[in-house]
Amino acid sequence: MVAMSVSDRAGLPRVLSLAQPTADSLHLGNFLGALRQWVPLQDDHDAFYGVADLHALTVEAEPAVRVDRSLRSAAQMLAAGVDPQRSTVFLQSHVPEHTQLMWVLATMTGFGQASRMTQFKDKSARFGADATNVGLFTYPVLMAADILLYQADRVPVGEDQRQHLELTRDLAVRFNGRHGTTFVVPEPHILPSVGRIADLADPSAKMSKTSSSPSGIVELLDEPKVNIKKIRSAVTDSEREIEFDEERKPGVANLLTILSALTGTSVEVLVKELAGRGYGDLKGAVADAVTAFATPYRERTLELMGERTELQAILADGADRARAVASATVAEVYRKIGLVQPRI
């Protein structure tokens, strides 16, 4: 296929997805659940991929750490295969229209509906009301703005974002109903097989930057030997057979899911190939597959981090392209809801 440049992309369906820079590295769940889908979608979509640095403000961090994490996240997107010649890669904070649209959408979101968001309920229950900021509560509304600004047709995300996508769709339909067709109503692009990669140490929980213990999370920029050790210590069960049963054997099912996603071999074939072997063999195969993919990924990310001027130039160019789309959406929204235009 001949690569298309950004200027040739008009008319293609739009895709948008962001990832938060809330840790020093993206983890295996981010990669398999979201980032890996981003790469092939570039072939036949006008893609917008961003670093959600405004969402990340809901989690405390030193300013210098934030800068490093944001650039690392962008570098990891490129290392995973996002091509800035074809896709628009940007930092959310470089496009002020995200917060402008968020405010409008916030005034259309019922307090009851926002209160039902399970991610907020889980996090606020875990941290307590005093340690929970209002930004965390309004996070799904900012996410709706992220998506609707770009008139995205599809949003490749993990299963944990399904409810937020539903809110986004509701808001788009509500706005269109009140003010005439304005927003594309986006479809989630969630792959059931990899939509929820589990924590290695607690397979009943999802792998998460903010809640997994260090032993439960595969940080892609860690030294390969660190991740090999974690995979070899992954929690399984007291049985011996390698079978895919998410209810009875969630740890083994998670390892099979990871291995299948990284090798492209179906779970059924893997189960046959591993028949009669032990959990140690399965863990060894997963460790090899993760190392084979993460080693060049890590090297490329570190290389890109050493080319900061080029990296920032890619992001500045991405911000210009993102703003061209986002500012047109906000202008239309402002006009339709009755905000006076600055010039006649």
Site map (CB under 6 A) of ligand AMP, residues 201-240, x = contact? -----xxxx-------------------------------
Regarding 37 and contact with ligand AMP (CB under 6 A), the answer is: no
What is the smallest separation between the CB atom of 86 and ligand AMP, expressed in angstroms? 20
Question: 123 catalytic, yes or no?
Answer: yes
Sites for ligand AMP among residues 183-202 (CB under 6 A): 195-197
The two tokens of residue 324 are: 């061209």
Regarding 15 and contact with ligand AMP (CB under 6 A), the answer is: no
Among 14, 15, 25, 33, indicate the residue that binds ligand AMP (CB under 6 A): 33
Give the total of residues touching ligand AMP (CB under 6 A).
17
d(CA 22, CA 301): 17
| Residue closer to ligand AMP, measured from CB, 98 or 206 | 206
- Specify burial of residue 260 (Cβ count, 10 A radius: 0-12, 13-18, 19+): buried
Among 9, 14, 30, 255, indicate the residue that binds ligand AMP (CB under 6 A): 30
HEC per residue, the chain:
CCCCCHHHCCCCCEEEEEECCCCCCCEHHHHHHHHHHHHHHCCCCEEEEEECCCHHHHCCCCHHHHHHHHHHHHHHHHHHCCCCCCCEEEEHHHCCHHHHHHHHHHCCCCHHHHHCCHHHHHHHHHHCHHHCCHHHHHHHHHHHHHHHHCCCCEEECCHHHHHHHHHHHHHHHHHHHHHCCCCCCCEEECCCCCCCCECCCCCCCECCCCCCCHHHCCECCCCHHHHHHHHHCCCCCCCCCCCCCCCCCHHHHHHHHHHHHHHCCCHHHHHHHCCCCCHHHHHHHHHHHHHHHHHHHHHHHHHHHCCHHHHHHHHHHHHHHHHHHHHHHHHHHHHHHCCCCCCC
d(CA 340, CA 285): 62
Among 19, 101, 171, 262, indicate the residue that binds ligand AMP (CB under 6 A): 19
Question: 209 catalytic, yes or no?
Answer: yes
Regarding 42 and contact with ligand AMP (CB under 6 A), the answer is: no
What is the smallest separation between the CB atom of 56 and ligand AMP, expressed in angstroms? 8
C-beta of residue 164 within 8 angstroms of C-beta of residue 144: yes
Catalytic residue among 121, 206, 230, 272: 206
Among 9, 15, 29, 319, indicate the residue that binds ligand AMP (CB under 6 A): 29
What is the smallest separation between the CB atom of 224 and ligand AMP, expressed in angstroms? 20
What is the smallest separation between the CB atom of 136 and ligand AMP, expressed in angstroms? 13
Regarding 251 and contact with ligand AMP (CB under 6 A), the answer is: no
Sites for ligand AMP among residues 258-287 (CB under 6 A): none
Among 15, 157, 285, 326, indicate the residue that binds ligand AMP (CB under 6 A): 157
What is the smallest separation between the CB atom of 133 and ligand AMP, expressed in angstroms? 16
| Residue closer to ligand AMP, measured from CB, 77 or 228 | 77
What is the smallest separation between the CB atom of 126 and ligand AMP, expressed in angstroms? 15
Regarding 250 and contact with ligand AMP (CB under 6 A), the answer is: no
Q: Minimal CB distance to ligand AMP: which residue?
A: 33
The two tokens of residue 128 are: 């307590």
Residues with catalytic function: 123, 206, 209
Q: Which residues bind ligand AMP (CB under 6 A)?
A: 19-20, 29-30, 33-34, 157-158, 160-161, 195-197, 206-209
